[in-house]
């Protein structure tokens, strides 16, 4: 039996469409995509979890595609029995023997929060989308079926492209952590990168009226989330409001944007609950973007670290990749995104190099890296990632946190190691908040 949501009629004015995206791995344990060509519905889910609960997906209706909706009532047809949940502040759900009824509530600003959760039966068939209507108008023709990874059922997961034609954009089929633009000689310490080398690197700006000030780097890890340092979202010792933060993706020249650069507003800032501005413990934050990112050759997500291998000793003495627009040899912010490699050092090595400084800031949730020879990340690189290439996949391991400052200027001293937040130690926290 096909279960569905039945709605009351409303006026629908369609103003445009966006390319839908094939279902893909967004990060190491997160899958998602749109079954609709116009991208009106986005589905995502984490792989794993208790077998009794993993047969689910979280959905989001992109009401921005439609103009002047007096009310928002949808019909969602499913291929298997399921229960639908949504926040009571966002809408109401009713059900009978073979149908669900949902009405989204208009917010004060006239918008609707079209988020909900579809929970299938334990060990039952996955509740795919069989149809989607708004005001009894089909807004999701030519559906793509999703066959996700359900660990409890023993499935390996696959992508069904039977309903797609050869013109589908191939970049949307790719997993995380892979470059789409290939260059020769990609990494040379302290040298400019080529456009497209680091498609997950984000530029974070603080906005004051009409003035945009570059603040930090960040890492795109899903179609809606950027990970950065906690201190990058602080202004005057307070967490900055989301409306004052702008994220640019696909940016190569800090001073110039082009057709590969896209800007995104932030609707939610999630610093770690135990972030301490005095010693920068738990120096990590997630920026939730107001609109879904469209992946291109120049904008791609990085993979999170593998949960099964978070021991820091496994990467000590290994060189990770770092990028940013930090201060150069002239003590000025770089115009072009720079790149380099830095080896991770042990806790003991780092501590003994400068005990007064590192003794205050080091913990089991961060680590040190660097050469102590003038090659280093610096002011302006904060929040950016350290990546390791594992089986040809770039995974995020660290977040630039802080460094020793020079005696003559309030900028980094490249003769000392740099502290990185160990993002691998926060994977559970990250995954929890990616679905907030």
Domain ranges of the chain: 3-173, 197-300+430-434, 312-422
CATH of domain 312-422: 2.40.10.10
pLDDT value of position 36: 86
pLDDT digits (tens, 9 = 90+) for 281-294: 999 999 999 998 98
Q: Is the pLDDT assigned to residue 378 strictly greater than 80? A: no
Please state, in angstroms and rounded to a whole number, the distance separating the CA atoms of residues 326 and 108. 41
pLDDT value of position 244: 94
Q: Which of 238, 358, 345, 252 is nearest to 298 (CA)?
A: 252
Pairing mode, strands 129-134 and 366-369: unpaired
pTM of the model: 0.61
Residues in the chain: 436
Judge whether 111 and 60 are in contact, CB under 8 Å: no
Q: What is the mean pLDDT of residues 390-402?
A: 92
Q: Going by C-beta distance under 8 Å and a sequence separation of 6 or more, which residues neighbour residue 64?
A: 291
pLDDT digits (tens, 9 = 90+) for 225-235: 999 999 999 98
Other residues' Cβ atoms within 10 Å of the Cβ of residue 64: 16
Concatenated DSSP letters of 244-291: GEEEEES--BTT---TT-EEEEEEEEEE-TT--TTT-TT--EEEEESS
Pairing mode, strands 338-345 and 366-369: antiparallel
Other residues' Cβ atoms within 10 Å of the Cβ of residue 49: 15
Q: Which residue has the tokens 């806790």?
A: 347
pLDDT digits (tens, 9 = 90+) for 312-346: 999 999 999 998 886 555 556 677 888 888 899 99
Please state, in angstroms and rounded to a whole number, the distance separating the CA atoms of residues 261 and 293. 12
Q: Is the pLDDT assigned to residue 14 strictly greater than 90? A: no
Q: Which residues sit opposite 385 in a β-bridge?
A: 399
Supply the mean pLDDT for the chain: 79
What is the longest distance spanned by two Cα atoms in the chain?
74
Could you tell me where the DSSP H helices lie in 16-142? none
Judge whether 254 and 335 are in contact, CB under 8 Å: yes
The SS3 call for residue 292 is: coil
Topology alike, domains 197-300+430-434 and 312-422: yes
Please state, in angstroms and rounded to a whole number, the distance separating the CA atoms of residues 48 and 114. 25
pLDDT digits (tens, 9 = 90+) for 71-128: 888 888 888 888 898 888 888 887 655 567 788 998 888 899 999 999 988 878 888 8
Looking at domain 197-300+430-434, does it have CATH number 3.40.1110.10? Answer: no
Highest mean pLDDT of the ranges 13-22, 100-109, 265-274: 265-274
Q: What is the mean pLDDT of residues 22-28?
A: 46
Q: What is the mean pLDDT of residues 266-276?
A: 95
Could you tell me where the DSSP H helices lie in 161-243? none
Please state, in angstroms and rounded to a whole number, the distance separating the CA atoms of residues 251 and 272. 27
pLDDT value of position 23: 52
Please state, in angstroms and rounded to a whole number, the distance separating the CA atoms of residues 105 and 91. 5
Please state, in angstroms and rounded to a whole number, the distance separating the CA atoms of residues 352 and 367. 13
Q: What is the mean pLDDT of residues 51-57?
A: 78
Q: Going by C-beta distance under 8 Å and a sequence separation of 6 or more, which residues neighbour residue 263?
A: 246, 247, 248, 257
pLDDT value of position 153: 43
End-to-end CA distance of the chain: 31
Please state, in angstroms and rounded to a whole number, the distance separating the CA atoms of residues 229 and 244. 16
Sign of the CA dihedral with 340 first, then 346, 349, and 351 last: positive
pLDDT value of position 173: 33
pLDDT value of position 77: 84
Extended strands (E) in 328-370: 338-345, 366-369
Judge whether 430 and 304 are in contact, CB under 8 Å: yes
């Amino acid at each position: 039996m096909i279960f569905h949501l039945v709605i009351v009629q409303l006026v629908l004015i369609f103003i445009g469409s966006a390319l839908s995206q094939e279902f893909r791995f967004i990060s190491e344990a997160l899958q998602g995509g749109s079954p609709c060509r116009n991208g009106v519905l986005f589905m995502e889910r984490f792989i794993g979890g208790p077998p009794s609960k993993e047969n689910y997906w979280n959905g989001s209706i992109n009401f921005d595609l439609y103009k002047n909706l007096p009310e928002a009532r949808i019909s969602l047809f499913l291929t298997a029995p399921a229960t639908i949940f949504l926040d009571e502040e966002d809408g109401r759900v009713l059900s009978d023997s073979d149908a669900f009824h949902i009405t989204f509530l208009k917010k004060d600003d006239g918008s609707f929060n079209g988020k909900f959760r579809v929970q299938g039966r334990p060990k039952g068939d996955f509740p795919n989308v069989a149809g989607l209507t708004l005001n009894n108008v089909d807004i999701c023709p030519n559906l793509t079926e999703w066959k996700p990874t359900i660990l409890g059922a023993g499935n390996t997961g696959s992508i069904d492209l039977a309903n797609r034609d050869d013109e589908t954009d191939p970049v949307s089929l790719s997993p995380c952590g892979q470059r789409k633009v290939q260059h020769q000689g990609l990494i040379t310490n302290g040298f400019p990168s080529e456009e497209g080398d680091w498609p997950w690197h984000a530029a974070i700006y603080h906005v004051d009226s009409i003035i945009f000030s570059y603040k930090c780097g960040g890492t795109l890890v899903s179609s809606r989330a950027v990970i950065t340092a906690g201190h990058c979202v602080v202004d005057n010792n307070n967490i900055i409001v989301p409306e004052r933060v702008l994220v640019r993706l696909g940016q190569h020249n800090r001073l110039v944007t082009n057709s590969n650069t896209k800007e995104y507003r932030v609707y939610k800032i999630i610093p770690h609950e135990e972030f301490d501005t005095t010693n920068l413990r738990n120096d990590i934050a997630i920026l939730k973007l107001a609109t879904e990112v469209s992946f291109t050759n120049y904008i791609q997500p990085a993979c999170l670290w593998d949960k099964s291998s978070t021991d820091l000793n496994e990467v000590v003495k290994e060189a990770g990749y770092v990028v940013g627009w930090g201060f150069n040899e002239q003590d000025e912010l770089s115009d072009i995104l720079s790149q380099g490699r830095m080896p991770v050092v042990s806790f003991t090595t780092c501590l003994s190099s400068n005990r007064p400084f590192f003794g205050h800031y080091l913990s089991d949730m961060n680590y040190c890296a660097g050469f102590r020879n003038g090659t280093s990340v610096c002011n302006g690189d904060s929040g950016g990632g350290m990546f390791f290439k594992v089986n040809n996949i770039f995974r995020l391991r660290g977040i630039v946190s802080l460094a020793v400052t020079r005696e003559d200027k309030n900028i980094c001293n490249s003769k000392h190691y740099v502290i990185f937040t160990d993002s691998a130690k926060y994977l559970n926290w990250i995954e929890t908040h990616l679905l907030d």
